[in-house]
Structure 1
Amino acid sequence: MINMAHQVDAKERFYRNFRIQQSNIQEQITHLPSIAPVAGERQDATEHILTNISRLTNDVRDATHFLPAYDHRVYVNAVTALRKELDETTAKLAPKSRFQFRPRPARTLSHDDAPDSRRLVNPGATRDGSPTPKSSKSTNGKPPISPPLSPGERGRPRSPRAIKIENQTEAIITLPADHSRTSSAGQLTGLSNCVVNLAAPAVEASRASPFASLALRDISNSVIIAGHVDGPVHITGLRRCKVVVTARQVRIHDCTEVDFYLWVTSEPIIEGCKNVRFAPLPELWGVEKVENKWEEVKDFLWLKQGEQSPNWGVLPEGDRVNKEVWKGVLGEGEEKEDVKEVLGRFGIA
């Protein structure tokens, strides 16, 4: 009798766990088309979905000792349907073959054409997807500037530019005042002890468009002000950071000791995280009056019904960064500061 009750309980737990994972994977597949293909971001998301499907396949296989044969076949078919749905989605997103090869015109760089580069350190904004230099070393004490436009490009409407910032250490990084990011994607990778401000500069705030998507990966001891993202934000492998973002979706994986300040219209999702805390977007940023679900966090690796996941919590008001510190990093305070001093104000050593 006890064994039968235990078996029923195991079947029920497996059913709930399966449905949660199945729903998670279906949601990821549904939103895959909204992820920009630049810098391998969509490929990374696809591989993450494949990993989740593989994990679910193993769970079904391991459950054969307590699942009836009919139930087991139902679960196997459900996993097969997920893989088929992913294959169909990626097939639709595959680039169409084009039998046209045009030489890329050479660009003439002129120092006089460079945008305002104050406090700008190798932002990695490119027009053609080419990689940017990885070094953040300055010359004569001045930060390097981003590639200027050629004379032939001046006066022409600017096409969307992807923002790619990678492999930076102890840098303060901002966008140039003339940067247009309409429908562009952002990617920040391999940063350490940095302060990054991707919020629209004040002179452009009234006409700046949101990022289409954003990916943050492998960042430590840094402050990231991501600004407004119209689509999904994928955050992976952050350690001891402060992150501010307004977005439609936020997906967080394998992060430790990170404080998130969010305005998000869907439930934030965490997976494989420890000691992450959440707070609402600071009042300094104005957003549309829509529901903010910053504290409705879902931990996909915490399956105990009715119990709070120990992996995340609400950031106490007394521990939140105050308004004056946010103003300073947004440029309303001192213009030229040492990055270590700025990080110190945020409590990041």
Structure 2
Amino acid sequence: MDEKKTASNAGETEALDDALQKKHLSMLERLSNRHQNRLDNALTRRSESESSSSPSFESTSSFFSRFSDSKRSIESQLAVSRTASSDPTQLKSHFEKISASISDLEKLVAENSYFLPSYDVRASLKTVSDLKQSLENLNSELIPKKKFSFRNKANKKESIAQEVKEPSPLNCSSVISDKTSFAVRESPGLRNRKGEVLMEDFRGKEVGEFTISDLDCCEVRIIGCLRALFVHRLKNCKVYVGPVLGSILIEEVEGCIFVMASHQIRIHTAKKSDFYLRVRSRPIIEDSSGVRFAPYHLTYEGIEEDLRGASLDEETENWANVDDFKWLRAIQSPNWSILPENERVRITNTSTLDNIE
């Protein structure tokens, strides 16, 4: 009896072991399939992102190779500026080409800043800033400003009338502005307005660079995607912008609200302004104070598709990771803060004119 009982127990144990082993193998198979599905989905999303967004480099080494080549080319163009021509018109054309190359270099940093270490982004932007400063110095030195001369009263009146004439909102700015530290390329835009609601719908269109400048007490609504955005000299304005594939540069703003999504956002000389951002890299502020940050919150028909096309559909939380380039201490910079939730504006649909609070 004991032998039969022992044999029976052994058989039951063996059967149990087989069942547990099958169950274990089944679990491993499910886990393996789940992991493979995750990998397939990740590769699919990456492929879709790469096909829908601007090309980016696969490694930091390839980025720096391209960056260094462009930097050397710009430095070479700057070096020959003194011997290029003495004709101001030809010099201006020469400087415009250099300015365009510098802007392309800055966009290169923006488009690749997602995978670059923060230090490398800072160093690259510092290089771009130095190139801009060199260009501005040469422009001031080699293209003399007009000398003062007396005019008769008729000419003086004509001059005053020309100055007060309201310029077109789509006038192009000069490549190098006396009022700005950024070298601004000629581009369509909204300029020189006061107390207006300005709306642009770019859905289904290919728009490159766009400029918003010299606005007072205006509300700007841009629907659709842009390649790059420049913002200069705004006061008491509200700016709502769809996704920007490259970079956003903001300078000399006060008392404003910005709602923006971009791969890189750089803010210079901003005062008492709120920024609602979605950004792939850390926002950068310089010479700014009283600026506050909150997450991006904007809606219009087709915005989700636009965000996916710009690879900005995922929230990175970088809106709260701000770099203050003029604050070198380890503690939090006093120049920026998180905007309290109870003070944040509620933004609905920018497609219409009466539903933003």
TM value normalised by structure 2: 0.46
Q: Which has the larger radius of gyration?
A: 2
Q: Could you say which structure has the higher helix fraction?
A: 2
